[in-house]
Amino acid sequence: MRRSVAAGCLFAIAVLGLGASGCGGPTYRRDEIPKAIQEICAREYQLNATVRLVGRTVSLVAQKPGLFEQLGGEIVGLSESTPLDLSRLVEAIQRVILSADQPPEFYLVLACDPAAQDTCLMMVQYVDDVRRVQASMIPLTEYLARRILEFHRSGTSPGDVERWLSSDIQFEQFLSWQLANRIQTRLSEAFLRQGWPPSDIGPCLGEFREGEFAFTLNVVRPLEGTDRDGVVQQVFEEATQEIADVLASYRFEDFDRIRLILPASGRDLLLPKAQLDLIR
């Protein structure tokens, strides 16, 4: 399950977490990073967290009752204190990794509420984006769009926790997640301008495999209308432009093609990299 978090909560978490930055020379060696983050969480914020550093990624798993608001067994939002708790976890991570001699490229936070059974809140951030927003190289709105923050189906058994702590995020994987979210947002905004409900856009899915970015675009109701071909063309154009803009902003060139899959229409669009370059 993937479900995005409300924009207001996202903004609060981002702003509260941006105060942490490294200063001076390196303070922490790479092998000290997990323990240092855990100690800050426990000593300063009374938050219990398990942290591990694997390859490019430092992962943190925290469990705390009352993180989510529920109604009838369904998660309907975050509790009032959750943005502050999450921002403190982020602050602990950033204080350490931005002062490390060999900082990771990504950090992953998985926040779980025992009462929510198998749903957790997942956050993924590219560390260079943190540096860029702190240096005013990208605006806060762009920083928010680059962050992955969503509800995710995940158990809290020792095996599930171990799987998350063993994560080593690849840059292409991160881009596919980010692009899927941004395409969904862009299509929702485009449909809203035309008087169609954003609910007609379901979760967009992205993956990277063997040089290909593939995105599944879950667009429903407008494809049932009379201007089916026009809607299909608009969906492909909006998604293609978003992909071109984001890849250009990261100056990412290590891919061969883009595939857009629109199940409701039975159509796919395959764009070689050279063709996408004409849009960028």
Q: What is the pLDDT of residue 1?
A: 44
Same domain for 162 and 179? no
Same domain for 209 and 250? yes
Same domain for 89 and 203? no
Looking up residue 263, the CATH number of its domain turns out to be 3.30.300
Asked if residues 107 and 59 have their Cβ atoms less than 8 Å apart, the reply is yes
Instruction: Tell me the pLDDT tens digit for each residue of 193-244.
Output: 888 887 788 889 999 999 999 999 998 765 665 577 788 888 999 999 999 9
Q: pTM for this one? A: 0.87
Last residue of a domain, one of 169, 200, 228: 169
Q: Which of 108-122, 162-176, 208-222 is least confident?
A: 108-122
Count of domains in the chain?
A: 2
pLDDT at 158 over 50: yes
Last residue of a domain, one of 136, 169, 202: 169
Range of the domain at 251: 173-277
Q: What is the pLDDT of residue 23?
A: 55
Same domain for 36 and 151? yes
